[in-house]
Amino acid sequence: MSVRCHLHASLPTLFLLAMVLFTPIAQAEIIDGFREMKFGMTEKEIVTLEACSTSTECVYDLAGKNRYLILDYSGAPETESAATLSKISIDMGAFTDQWYEELQIRLQDQYQLTNDLLEVDIAAFAKHQISELTSGYEQGQVLLTVVRRKFGNLILKVIYQNKFMAAKSLKERNTPH
């Protein structure tokens, strides 16, 4: 089955899974980073971590495979302080319905779903009008994203971001297309 047919067939599944798997969690999780990488760390601190070969790339064994993490830094918005870790993007590999569902369950077991997939976004993604489809947990601090790459193949990413980046991405998401 072609990627386009597979995507078209799997979009209803994605939407249903997003709706069915939502189970409210009583208390919000404090998101301070991923494993030993904590938001607010400097690039100098990151390169001392065993899993990080540079200040922007790390490799972890997650779900039985080596996963590449791309790190982004930003300064505090109200000051001109040194840039610190603000976002961690984890490449979770090729999209499949089963892998998407498994990631969704894993995230839901740990975090509260606060920003579900929107029908308008699912439709725009299916029509190739947008290249990413994102659901958010814990007010956007943890994201599960389906990304359509340049040649049409789909990948999955899990993104951890600090509160400032989460608020910024929520604001962008709530801005009309």
pLDDT band at 1 (very low <50, low <70, confident <90, very high): very low
Percent share of the chain, pLDDT over 90:
68
What does the pLDDT look like over 17-47, one tens digit per residue? 343 333 334 455 679 999 999 999 999 999 9
Could you tell me the pLDDT band of residue 170, with boundaries at 50, 70 and 90? Answer: confident
User: Would you tell me how many other CB atoms lie within 10 Å of the CB of residue 94?
Assistant: 11
Q: Where are the domains of the chain?
A: 3-173
Kindly report, residue by residue over 154-166, the tens digit of the pLDDT: 999 999 999 999 9
pLDDT tens sequence across 67-84: 999 999 997 556 667 899
Residue 37 pLDDT: 95
Q: Look up residue 37 and give its two tokens.
A: 């990488």
Position 78 scores a pLDDT of 61
pLDDT at res. 99:
96
pLDDT computed for residue 175 by the predictor: 56
Q: Which two tokens stand for residue 48?
A: 């001392």
3-state SS, one letter per residue, for the chain: CCHHHHHHHHHHHHHHHHHHCCCCCCCCCCCCEECCEECCCCHHHHCCCCCECCCCEEEEEECCEEEEEEEEEECCCCCCCCCEEEEEEEEEEECCHHHHHHHHHHHHHHCCEEECCCHHHHHHHHCCCCCEEEEEECCCCEEEEEEECCCCCEEEEEEEECHHHHHHHHHHHCCCC
| Res 82: pLDDT | 81
pLDDT value of position 54 = 93
C-alpha closest to that of 103 among 74, 130, 129, 134: 134
pLDDT at 61: 92
Alpha-carbon distance of 115 to 100, in angstroms, equals 16
How confident is the model over 124-142, as a mean pLDDT?
95
